[in-house]
Each structure stands twice: as structure tokens, then as C-alpha cells.
Chain A
Amino acid sequence: MDPAWILVILGEVLVAIGVLCDLVAAIGMLRFPNFYVRLHAATVGTIGGAFVPLVGAALIAAGSEFLGVYRWFMAGAALVTAFLVLILAPAGSHALARAAHRSRAAVVKPKVVDHLEEDRRGGEG
């Protein structure tokens, strides 16, 4: 079998997984009840929905002869983007969640227990 076909099929499988994660994350983002639960959907959407299809697109670009010599540039730039998303997405979500909790900007509506809140109030008083 031609190695280009293997690259393309592997990349298409990764892009298909990524697009499914993307759809599931978007539905979750719409249906979940509050901000802290939506963080879970955001994680599925960024790592599963952006990192995985970027690696897959890099493989597709590397295997596609019809893109000309620039396909190596496309594959490399897609891998760099995947690396950036892998580093930046968790850092950004974490900073946002920390800020939302400290400033009480997000309402925790269906709440069972919030130990962080209790600890902070105990520390202040």
C-alpha cells in the first residue's frame, strides 16, 4: 500500500474523531447547567476538538501530493498550532476558572458543596 494513503486515512480518522468531539462539546456547552460544569465541555472541545483534528490535518497535508511542495509547510504549521493549543488551552481555562471563582462572577446554581468557597471564607473571618 502506498504510504501516502496510510497518512491520509490516519489523518481522516483523527479529523473524524475531532469533529465528533467538537459536536459533543458544543451540545454540552449548550446543555450543561453552570459555568464550572461547562468547563468540562470546553476541555472536550479544545483538546478533543482542536488538538486531535490539527494533528490529523497535518497528516492529511503531509500525505496529499496534490497540494504541491507547500504541503510540508502546511503540515509543519498545523503541528505547531496543535502544540500551541495543547499548551495554551488548559492554561487559559484554568486562569478563567480561578478568576471566576475568586471574583464570584459565575453563579453556582445546582450546588452540592463548595469546599474552596468555605475555606476562603474561613481564612478571611
Chain B
Amino acid sequence: MSIEEQVTTFILVVLPIYIASFTLYVVRALKGPTVPDMVLAIDAMTYDLAAFLVVLAIFFRSPILVPVAIVLALWVYALDIYVAKYLESREMGE
């Protein structure tokens, strides 16, 4: 078995587990019950989505997907900080 086939088979096995865990995260993000709970679920899900995108980039052999993961990680950090700032002082910062 060549490296290509082996990697493709492995990623095909891994994909459904990722999809299942994303579904569970989305359930928690929709259920809440409070705002920090939703933000925490979105936070953990998006960091995992960044890892998932890199795995998908190997699967589809397209390097253009990898920089998207960097932007995604930075974006969700900004979400964390904005929500934390809003919760503490009730304003977004000018």
C-alpha cells in the first residue's frame, strides 16, 4: 500500500468522528443556556474546525485551505475577547 492510499483511507476513517463531535458542539451551542456557554461551545468547535480544515487540505490536496485555518483561529480568539469585554463592562470598546 502506498503512502497516498494509506493517508486517504485514514482520513476517510477520521472524517465521520469529526462530523459527530461538531454535531455535539452545535447542540450545546444552540441549547445555551447562558451566553458564556454558547461562546465556549463555538470557541472549542472553531479551534477543532481549524484542525479539521488542515486535515481536509491534505485529503483534497489543496494547499489553499491551510491559511484559512490560521484566520479561523485568530477570529475565534477575537470573538472570545469581545464577548468577555462586553460581559464585564457592557460595552464593546470604541
Binding site for B on A (CB under 8 A): 4-5, 8, 12, 15-16, 18-20, 22-23, 25-27, 29-30, 35, 38-39, 41-42, 45-46, 49-50, 53-54, 57-58, 60-61, 63-68, 70-71, 73-74, 77-78, 80-81, 84-85, 88-89, 91-93, 95-100, 102-103, 105-107
Q: Contact string, B51-70, partner A, CB cutoff 8 A, digits 1/0?
A: 10011011001010011011
Could you say which residues of chain A place their CB within 8 Å of the CB of B41?
29, 38
Residue of B nearest to A48 (CB): B48
Minimum CB–CB distance for B91 against chain A, Å: 12
Which residue on chain A has the smallest CB distance to residue B61?
Answer: A67
| A99-B88 in contact (CB<8A) | yes
| Interface flag for B87 (CB, 8 Å) | yes
Q: How far is the CB of B35 from chain A (nearest CB, A)?
A: 6
Find out whether the CB atom of B51 lies under 8 angstroms from the CB atom of A49.
yes
A64 touches B3 (CB 8 A): yes
Q: Judge whether A98 and B44 touch: CB under 8 Å.
A: no
User: B59 to nearest A CB, angstroms?
Assistant: 10
Q: Is B12 an interface residue (CB 8 A)?
A: no
The answer to whether B73 and A84 have CB atoms under 8 Å apart is yes
Q: CA–CA, A103 to B77, complex, Å?
A: 20
Are B58 and A26 in contact (CB-based, < 8 A)? no
Point out the residues of chain A lying under 8 angstroms from B88, CB to CB: 98-99, 102-103
How far does the Cβ of A29 sit from chain B's closest Cβ, in whole Å? Answer: 5
Asked, given contacts A30-B24, A49-B47, A81-B73, whether A64 binds B58 with beta carbons under 8 Å apart, the answer is yes
Given A57-B51, A57-B55, A39 and B40 contact (CB-CB distance below 8 Å): yes
Central interface residue in A61, A93, A99, by most chain B CB within 10 Å: A99
